[in-house]
Amino acid sequence: MNPQLLFWIPAALRLSLVLIASGLTWYFFGPVIGLAVAIVCLLALIVIQLNYLYQLSGWLEHPDSEKLPDGWGAWTDIFSRLYRMRRDDERNRSELTEWLARFRQAMSLLPDGVVIMDDVLFLEWCNPAAERHLGLNNGRDKGMRVTNLIRSPDFIDYIILGHYEQPLTLSLKDRKLIVQIIPFENRRQILVTHDATESERIEMMRRDFIANASHELRTPLTVINGFLEIAQAQPDLDQAIRMSHLKLMIEQGQRMQNLVEDMLTLTRLESIDYPLRPEHVNIHNLLEQIRQEAEALSGGRHEISLTIDGPDIEGSADELRSAFSNLVSNAVRYTPIHGRIDIKWQNTAAGPQFSVKDTGIGMRPEHLVRLTERFYRVDKSRSRETQGTGLGLAIVKHVLLRHGAVLAIESQPDVGSTFSVQFKTENLPA
Ligand code: ADP
Q: How far is the CA of 104 from the centre of ligand 1 (A)?
A: 52
Indicate if the alpha-carbon torsion angle 206, 211, 216, 218 is positive or negative: positive
250 and 140 housed in the same domain: no
Q: Is the CB of 416 under 6 A from ligand 1?
A: no
- Give the pLDDT of residue 66: 65
Contact yes or no for 277/316 (Cβ under 8 A):
yes
Q: What gap in Å lies between CA 56 and CA 359, rounded to an integer?
A: 99
Q: How far is the CA of 311 from the centre of ligand 1 (A)?
A: 28
Q: Is residue 103 part of a domain?
A: no
Q: Which of 251, 270, 289 is the last residue of a domain?
A: 270
264 and 285 housed in the same domain: no
Pocket probe for ligand 1: among 393, 396, 397, the residue whose CB has the most ligand atoms within 8 Å is 393
Contact yes or no for 357/342 (Cβ under 8 A):
yes
Tell which atom from ligand 1 comes closest to the C-alpha of 384: 3
Q: Is the CB of 334 under 6 A from ligand 1?
A: yes
Q: What gap in Å lies between CA 149 and CA 174, rounded to an integer?
A: 17
Q: Choose among 183, 113, 198, 184: nearest CA to 149.
A: 113
297 and 388 housed in the same domain: yes
Q: Choose among 237, 410, 412, 421: nearest CA to 327.
A: 421
83 and 35 housed in the same domain: yes
Q: Is residue 254 part of a domain?
A: yes
- Give the pLDDT of residue 72: 67
Q: Is the CB of 390 under 6 A from ligand 1?
A: yes
Q: Which of 241, 270, 299 is the last residue of a domain?
A: 270
DSSP state of 70: P
Q: What gap in Å lies between CA 202 and CA 216, rounded to an integer?
A: 21
Contact yes or no for 194/177 (Cβ under 8 A):
yes
Q: What gap in Å lies between CA 426 and CA 430, rounded to an integer?
A: 8
133 and 237 housed in the same domain: no
- Give the pLDDT of residue 59: 79
207's CB contacts (< 8 A; 6+ apart) are none
Contact yes or no for 33/21 (Cβ under 8 A):
no
- Give the pLDDT of residue 230: 92
Indicate if the alpha-carbon torsion angle 279, 285, 290, 296 is positive or negative: negative
401 and 300 housed in the same domain: yes
Q: Choose among 403, 400, 395: nearest CA to 372.
A: 395
Q: Is the CB of 18 under 6 A from ligand 1?
A: no
Contact yes or no for 255/220 (Cβ under 8 A):
yes
Q: Is residue 417 part of a domain?
A: yes
- Partnered with residue 406 across adjacent β-strands are 422
Q: How far is the CA of 94 from the centre of ligand 1 (A)?
A: 67
Q: Is the CB of 343 under 6 A from ligand 1?
A: no
Q: Which of 175, 195, 215 is the last residue of a domain?
A: 195
223 and 301 housed in the same domain: no
Pocket probe for ligand 1: among 371, 376, 409, the residue whose CB has the most ligand atoms within 8 Å is 371
Q: Is 414 exposed, middle or buried (0-12, 13-18, 19+ CB in 10 A)?
A: exposed
Q: Is residue 414 part of a domain?
A: yes
Nearest CA to ligand 1 atom 16: 378
Q: Is 413 exposed, middle or buried (0-12, 13-18, 19+ CB in 10 A)?
A: middle
340 and 240 housed in the same domain: no
Q: Could you tell me the strand order of the sheet in which 168-172 lies?
A: 123-126, 113-118, 188-195, 175-184, 168-172
Q: Is residue 15 part of a domain?
A: yes
What range defines the domain where residue 60 resides? 3-98
Q: Is residue 25 part of a domain?
A: yes
Q: Is the CB of 360 under 6 A from ligand 1?
A: yes
Digits of tens for pLDDT over the chain (430 positions)? 666 776 788 778 888 998 999 999 999 999 999 999 999 999 998 998 888 888 888 878 877 656 667 766 677 778 788 888 888 988 999 999 999 999 888 988 999 999 999 988 999 999 999 999 999 998 999 999 999 999 889 999 998 888 899 999 999 888 999 999 998 877 889 999 999 999 999 899 889 889 989 988 998 999 999 999 999 999 888 899 999 999 999 999 999 999 999 999 998 888 877 788 899 999 999 999 999 999 999 999 999 999 999 999 999 999 999 999 999 999 999 999 999 999 999 999 999 999 999 999 999 999 999 999 999 999 888 777 777 889 999 999 999 999 999 999 999 999 999 999 999 998 888 7
Q: Is the CB of 407 under 6 A from ligand 1?
A: no
- Give the pLDDT of residue 20: 92
Q: Is residue 174 part of a domain?
A: yes
Q: Is the CB of 327 under 6 A from ligand 1?
A: no
CB 224: neighbour CB atoms within 10 A? 19
Name the domain count of the chain.
Answer: 4
At 117, the amino acid letter reads: M
Q: Spell out the alpha helix ranges (H) of 299-345.
A: 317-333
292 and 391 housed in the same domain: yes
Q: What gap in Å lies between CA 392 and CA 400, rounded to an integer?
A: 12
CATH number, residue 248: 1.10.287.130
339 and 417 housed in the same domain: yes
DSSP 267-285: HHHH-TTS----EEE-HHH
383 and 419 housed in the same domain: yes
Q: How far is the CA of 221 from the centre of ligand 1 (A)?
A: 23
- Give the pLDDT of residue 380: 81
**How many angstroms separate the first and last alpha carbons of the chain?**
84
Q: Is residue 105 part of a domain?
A: no
139 and 177 housed in the same domain: yes
Nearest CA to ligand 1 atom 2: 388
